[in-house]
Amino acid sequence: MNVYDSQRMADALARDGYQPTEVMEEADLVLLNTCHIREKAAEKVYSELGRIRKLKEERAEKGDELIIGVAGCVAQAEGQEIIRRAPAVDLVIGPQTYHRLPDAVGRARRGEKIVETDYAIEDKFEHLPAPERRAVRSRGVTAFLTVQEGCDKFCTFCVVPYTRGSEVSRPVAQILDEARRLADAGVRELTLLGQNVNAWHGEGPDGEWGLGRLLFRLAEVPSIERLRYTTSHPRDMDDELIAAHRDLDKLMPYLHLPVQAGSDRILKAMNRRHKAVDYLRLIDRIRAARPDIAMSGDFIVGFPGETDEDFEATMRIVREVTYAQAFSFKYSPRPGTPGADMPFQVAEEVKDERLQRLQALLTEQQKAFAAGLVGKEMDILIEKPGRRTGQIVGRSPWLQPVIVDETAGEIGDIVRVRITEAGANSLFSEPVL
């Protein structure tokens, strides 16, 4: 979502003549878009700010100006504290108020220190300018589209309900309008985003819609060929969403559905509000609807109170589900969340050891999944030139990069290929004529 937000911020600033640059030394404005989900991500902001401060000082010596801004969830969570710890920062702005960014940057340039972390009453998306066609084209044939923000689930480890606020769904018309604009500018694949995307709901012309219904509607948008959504909560996988997986060829057979842990005791302590068996049954239903669906997930090891036995239950659920890909993390206590104050925090070495074992298993499954595709045919969406001349890179339905000879098609084409080899991070293929 931060990638999407950064684009929307760039679009908002484009009106005042700002253009993105890859070279920080060239910039008049450096805006860090930050993540607060784990401590490591949040701490990185301060080391990065140290580096940027030096640049600002060098600039000042030459009589030039550099404005430093911090956006994202660290901005939201820490607000004024950021300027206290890093006085070179001119501007702190939380995710709910990006539509006010141009004004905030203007005021910062006039010497004001800005902290903008209130939840806006007005609809941010109503006030954010649509991207220019040229900007969309430069970003490629796949695009993100935020349909939902915030979360009301309050998992006890997670800061999202505090940093991103309570759940808000964007209206159907706004989403369709954005999808059409993206499609008109050449986008072929849309990934719908939300912290809890499958909790999305909206008022359709014929009553209340859920995400499944929205996907059916988006599949009708001309030239959108592929749809994805991320990230989901097991409790919000309703029948219509599962039906969308069954009936919509455009909905890619790949689902990121985090379970976090395999032990019912830990799931309860995490306030996930389902048991391991509920998750397994749900996956059975999804697989019955769409047999070629591959699973992705998130896992946390070392949540407070997690015993060896609890951890073994996580290993078991991974073996039972088999994932094509997954993210796994050591539990990181976050300020203000219930988990941070729970007794029986797990020692760092124990977390390390568990994470290593879990990741070894997940990597093995990921490799096996890729290896299992060798010899198979699939459609890929061509996205960009390859690193080697004569090659182009596409995306498999399961998000793997697939390399093929450039004669196979143009960027934006969907072409049929046969997988010839599974490499470490990508698949190799030949066109099917």
297 binds ligand SF4 (CB under 6 A): no
**Long-range Cβ contact pairs of 276-285 (< 8 A, separation 24 or more):** 276/313, 276/317, 278/234, 279/234, 279/317, 280/317, 280/320, 280/321, 282/234, 282/237, 282/257, 283/257, 283/321, 285/242
- Single-letter residue type at 292: D
* Distance spanning both ends of the chain, measured CA to CA: 38
165 binds ligand SF4 (CB under 6 A): no
Segment contacting ligand 5AD (CB under 6 A): 44-52, 281-289, 331-339, 366-374? 331-339
Q: Residue with structure tokens 């309008």? A: 177
Segment contacting ligand SF4 (CB under 6 A): 68-76, 147-155, 349-357, 389-397? 147-155
Segment contacting ligand 5AD (CB under 6 A): 285-293, 325-333, 389-397, 403-411? 325-333
| Among the listed residues 304, 313, 333, the one whose alpha carbon sits nearest the alpha carbon of residue 264 | 313
Strands, E, within 91-210: which ranges? 91-93, 114-116, 142-146, 148-149, 168-169, 189-193, 201-204, 207-210
Q: Return the residue of 31, 158, 172, 183 that touches ligand SF4, per CB under 6 A.
A: 158
Segment contacting ligand SF4 (CB under 6 A): 19-27, 156-164, 243-251, 354-362? 156-164
Grouping H, G, I as helix, E, B as strand and the rest as coil, residue 125 is helix
Q: What are phi and psi of 353, to 5 degrees?
A: -65, -40
155 binds ligand SF4 (CB under 6 A): yes
Looking at the Cβ atoms of 165 and 394, the one nearer to ligand SF4 is 165
Residue 331 binds what, of ligand SF4, ligand 5AD, none (CB under 5 to 8 Å, by partner type)?
A: ligand 5AD
**CB of 397: closest distance to ligand 5AD in angstroms?**
22
Around 137, how many Cα atoms within 13 Å sit in the side-chain half-sphere? 5
Which residues, numbered 193-252, are part of the site for ligand SF4 (CB under 6 A)? 195-196, 233
d(CA 84, CA 76): 15
**Strands 91-93 and 114-116, sheet pairing:** parallel
d(CA 314, CA 329): 13
258 binds ligand 5AD (CB under 6 A): yes
Q: Return the residue of 12, 151, 172, 382 that touches ligand SF4, per CB under 6 A.
A: 151
261 binds ligand SF4 (CB under 6 A): no
Q: Return the residue of 58, 137, 154, 177 that touches ligand SF4, per CB under 6 A.
A: 154
Q: Return the residue of 8, 334, 351, 395 that touches ligand 5AD, per CB under 6 A.
A: 334
Which residues, numbered 86-145, are part of the site for ligand SF4 (CB under 6 A)? none
Task: Give me the residues that bind ligand SF4 (CB under 6 A), please.
Answer: 151, 153-155, 158, 160-161, 195-196, 233
